[in-house]
A = this chain, B = another copy of it.
Amino acid sequence: MTVAGAEPTQDAAIRRNSGVSLWRQISDRIRRLETDGQLDPDGRLPPEFRLAEQFGVNRHTVRSAISHLVQEGVLRTEQGRGTFFRSRPRLAYPIGRRTRFSAGLEGQASTLQMVLVESATIRADERVAVGLNIEVAATVIWLRTIGLADGEPVSTAESWFPADRLPGIADAFRRTGSVTAALSLLGIDDYTRRATTLTATHASDDDLARLKLAPGAIVLVAVGVNVDPDGRPIQYSETRFSADRIELTIESA
């Protein structure tokens, strides 16, 4: 018999036929174990049969929950040894006057890569026009890129470049895989970041797909303008980082 009072938010039990599948409920509970710190120092999960009896379900149901978390990159299994949390220390992405993807993350991952997913020539909406200091509806080149560290997506960005000044930016990027190199090809050897605004939000469906995130994940959104040495805007961009994998560091120099 329970005679407890206003009890502390006790973990709700697994609920059957609630419209939420058991594997999903268990998966959510396991994911929370990591942050709750009720874990061995080696990040090892209890064996499947034990989790199964703990949650009162079949071992296969636990396996289903685990395999989804493996898919998401939260867990890693080793046959014969156990299941472990992937300890993925966040990459530190410096934001400052010289914000560059590869240079910023250098040394923190063995391979860094920027891929162009999509590009188009479009007309500037007001936001972009203000950022680039051009007329609304002026022609701009739009790129969508994804940044990969060790082959895993960590950021996705949209960039807008003034078309009159940098008509070949998409091709140059495609050839070089880098904004810095592409701009260099087009005669701009240096550029600096003028302003950056940071926000955080829940991942959109697009984010989930592009960054391979789990529903409910958080993304950091950095909106900024790069300018050439003369101070003329050459790139307006919105970059969305997986908050699980990246932390932003502000260089206040």
A140-168 interface (Cβ within 8 A of B): 142, 158
Query: How many residues on the A side are at the interface (Cβ–Cβ under 8 A)?
Result: 38
Interchain CB contact under 8 A, B204 and A5:
no
- CB closest residue in chain B, given A2: B206
**Does A202 belong to the interface (CB within 8 Å)?**
yes
A122: contacting residue among B1, B68, B204, CB under 8 A: B1
Instruction: Specify which chain B residues have a CB less than 8 angstroms from the CB of A10 in the assembled complex.
Output: 204
Interchain CB contact under 8 A, A205 and B21:
no
Instruction: Specify which chain B residues have a CB less than 8 angstroms from the CB of A3 in the assembled complex.
Output: 122, 125, 127-128, 142, 158
Interchain CB contact under 8 A, A238 and B20:
no
Interchain CB contact under 8 A, A20 and B24:
yes
A196-253 interface (Cβ within 8 A of B): 199, 201-202, 204-206, 215, 221, 223, 238
Instruction: Specify which chain B residues have a CB less than 8 angstroms from the CB of A27 in the assembled complex.
Output: 19
Q: In the complex, what distance in Å separates the CA atom of A194 from the CA atom of B13?
A: 36
Report the minimum CB–CB distance from A29 to chain B (whole Å).
12
**Does A7 belong to the interface (CB within 8 Å)?**
yes
Count this chain's copies in the assembly: 2
**Does A120 belong to the interface (CB within 8 Å)?**
yes
A107-127 interface (Cβ within 8 A of B): 118, 120, 122, 125, 127
Q: In the complex, what distance in Å separates the CA atom of A118 from the CA atom of B2?
A: 12
Instruction: Specify which chain B residues have a CB less than 8 angstroms from the CB of A238 in the assembled complex.
Output: 5-6
A7-58 interface (Cβ within 8 A of B): 7, 9-10, 12-13, 15, 18-21, 23-25, 27
Known contacts A18-B24, A19-B27, A20-B21; A6 and B120 CB within 8 A of each other: no
Instruction: Specify which chain B residues have a CB less than 8 angstroms from the CB of A204 in the assembled complex.
Output: 7, 10, 12
Report the minimum CB–CB distance from A74 to chain B (whole Å).
14
Known contacts A19-B27, A20-B20, A120-B1; A6 and B128 CB within 8 A of each other: no
Known contacts A10-B204, A18-B24, A19-B27; A5 and B120 CB within 8 A of each other: no
Q: In the complex, what distance in Å separates the CA atom of A21 from the CA atom of B1?
A: 34
Q: In the complex, what distance in Å separates the CA atom of A18 from the CA atom of B21?
A: 9
- CB closest residue in chain B, given A12: B205
Q: In the complex, what distance in Å separates the CA atom of A205 from the CA atom of B11?
A: 10
Q: A residues bordering B, Cβ < 8 Å?
A: 1-3, 5-7, 9-10, 12-13, 15, 18-21, 23-25, 27, 68, 118, 120, 122, 125, 127-128, 142, 158, 199, 201-202, 204-206, 215, 221, 223, 238
